[in-house]
Each structure stands twice: as structure tokens, then as C-alpha cells.
Amino acid sequence: MGIDRFNPDTVLLKRQATLYNLREQVVGDLIILSQRTVFQPKKYQSASTNIEILHEDIAQITPYSSFFLIPDGLKITLQSTQEFRLKLYDRKTVIDMYRTLGKGHLIPPHEK
């Protein structure tokens, strides 16, 4: 039996990621489901809570290079202009999953 991408609770992709915000870096898992993306911090970082992003709220997905050299960053901008900056080791797979979910129009076409 294959992955049911229409079930809202089916995990389509899970990758380790680091979330960067104004005050700290939080290590956790980026979990992509069919209708939402969840960033789940590792348990030892108890001050942080899960972040849930509904796919319908995403305005733009922008790849970027951390330290201006390493192509491992991904910025998710919501329609409310709130931004989430993530560092991923397998960015291409994450971008491909968003394209599979119909969010390819939010990613610049020349980005990998």
C-alpha cells in the first residue's frame, strides 16, 4: 500500500532541520503532511513548542544559502509575512515534496 497524500495525518516526509529565529537556533524535525508542515523541536529543548504551518497559508518558499555559501537553507513565508528560516541537509528533497503537493508555483523556478 502506498502513501496516502490526501489523508491529513499521513507523514509524507520527515527530515532533521534547524529552525533559526531572532534569539536562538532550535534543532528538531521538519515533518511534511498533506495539508500542513510541522516543526517539532527535540525533547531536550523543552522551552520550544511545535510549530504548525498550514500549506494554504504559505505565500512563498525561498531556498537560500547559509553563510552565503552553503545551499542548505529554506525560508517559508506566510501570507501574514511571518517567516520561518530552516537549515536542512536534504533541501532538494523537501523542495521536491512541496512541488508534489502543488506548491511549486511558490518556489522560484531556477531553485533546486
Strands 25-33 and 70-78: unpaired
What is the value of pTM for the model shown?
0.83
The predicted structure's pLDDT at residue 77: 94
DSSP state of 24: -
pLDDT: which is higher, 32 or 89:
32
Mean pLDDT of 64-83: 89
How sure is the predictor about 15, in pLDDT bands with cuts at 50, 70 and 90? very high
Residue-averaged pLDDT of the chain? 84
What are the tens digits of pLDDT across the range 79-107?
Answer: 999 999 999 988 999 999 998 888 877 77
Mean pLDDT of 65-76: 86
Q: Which of these, 5, 42, 6, 16, lies nearest to 94 by C-alpha position?
A: 16
The radius of gyration of the chain's CA atoms, rounded to the nearest angstrom, is 14
pLDDT higher than 50, residue 1: no
pLDDT: which is higher, 40 or 111:
40
| Topology given in CATH for the domain delimited by 11-105 | PH-domain like (2.30.29)
Q: Which residues have CB under 8 Å from 39's CB, separation 6+? A: 17, 19, 26, 28, 29, 30, 31, 50, 51, 53, 84, 86
pLDDT higher than 60, residue 2: no
For the chain, give every domain's residue range: 11-105
